[in-house]
Structure 1
Amino acid sequence: MSELEGYARFLPDLAKSALPPQRERQRAMSTVALALRHATDSLAGLDEAARGWLLAHIYQELGGSKAESVNAARAQIAAQILQPDLIDLLNRAARAARDAADTLPEPAPRIRAELYGARAVLGLFAAHELPFSQGENGFAAEALRALLALCGLPDVDRVGYWLRQAIDNPANLP
């Protein structure tokens, strides 16, 4: 029973783990790429003194300087040291984000909680060398109903279906 309870703690999280649609995921990555491109353009559009001041503050924030304040000399040095690298970094990051959005692989199909639970029951029965039947009324069906009830999932009418799916698709048994 404690093994079923362990699976029961995990299954509700599995049921909530659905990823957004692929187009939304790609759109979000494209937004990051665009924001990086805008940051590059904005940085390049600043006059040298303002860019130096900004870069000195960035340098200080990133731990490059322990000084309490940023002064004009540090700003000029920061502009000379950081400007080419930062603009290049932002351009490369924007290209990488765009490429990532274009090549984002489809997510693996989400395993339904009922199937994962059926696989858990099948695995437990195999581990304890218990006879396993895939019908609606056997001991395995009752174990799956108990597991799903522990998870707080609504009553599943067709536990036999999920048990058959677990037998037919035993990959990644818990």
Structure 2
Amino acid sequence: MAEKISESDFFQSVIRADAERVDLIFSSLDGDLMSGYRGDLRFHPETAGRIKEKFIELRKEKWDADLDWLKREARSFVDGIRDIARTAPATQKYEPDNQRQRKERLESIGKHVNALADLMNDADSMALGWLLVQFFAIHENDDEPGKDPMKAQAMALHTRKFLREILPDLGLAAIEASKTLPLADRPNPYLTAGLILNRRFYDAGLLEHFKPEKNSFGWLCMSEMMMLMGAEDSDKTSYWLRKTIEDPESTTAWIEGLRKRAVE
């Protein structure tokens, strides 16, 4: 009989697998954006050991977990921080497109979506049904609609109704977005790294320890990560932790927003 796994262990394994999947995707990317990936970066064993020890200490305060399991979690956590340091500098390679070009592309999307909506309205159900037969054969590797023309036509009617409702709105949204598109800033590697680290703390159940104070676990992880990324010293650690926490895209801000809505 297979050994039972607790609900807590199951969800933690899901979180760990998701983090490993993201790391794998980052490390396998190529091209200009990832040309700055630093696969050679590694923590000194003493540094990695200090982070692991603190991670285990804080996790044991919240969960009565098996020590071997905690050690594996700690190792995964440290590897995740290392991989953030490896990938975040690549964001410096990102050069936003000219603002005029960005707006023109959105406007073009809006016009083409509107044109697609008109074409979908003009096409007959049989033609749309045959289109779906080809779509399912290519995208889903499913030839079932091709064996049942009536089913294909019914699906086409439903699809056309859905697209008739959503495509005009999407086209209008793209055109409106082209008029109000904010400027694209080059991401700061330390803020990028901080935002990813912030999420890692949440995944580990340690978000309350992501603080700018020098004695916090967040400060320890952020400072060592910044040093690995090439920072000359740790003087700016608290600054970037505060910037991360205050950023509307941070996990901390997201959680705080949920709390506020819950009490309203």
Q: Which structure: larger Rg?
A: 1
TM-score by length of 1: 0.49
Bigger RCO of structures 1 and 2 (CA < 8 A, at least 6 apart): 1
TM-score by length of 2: 0.35
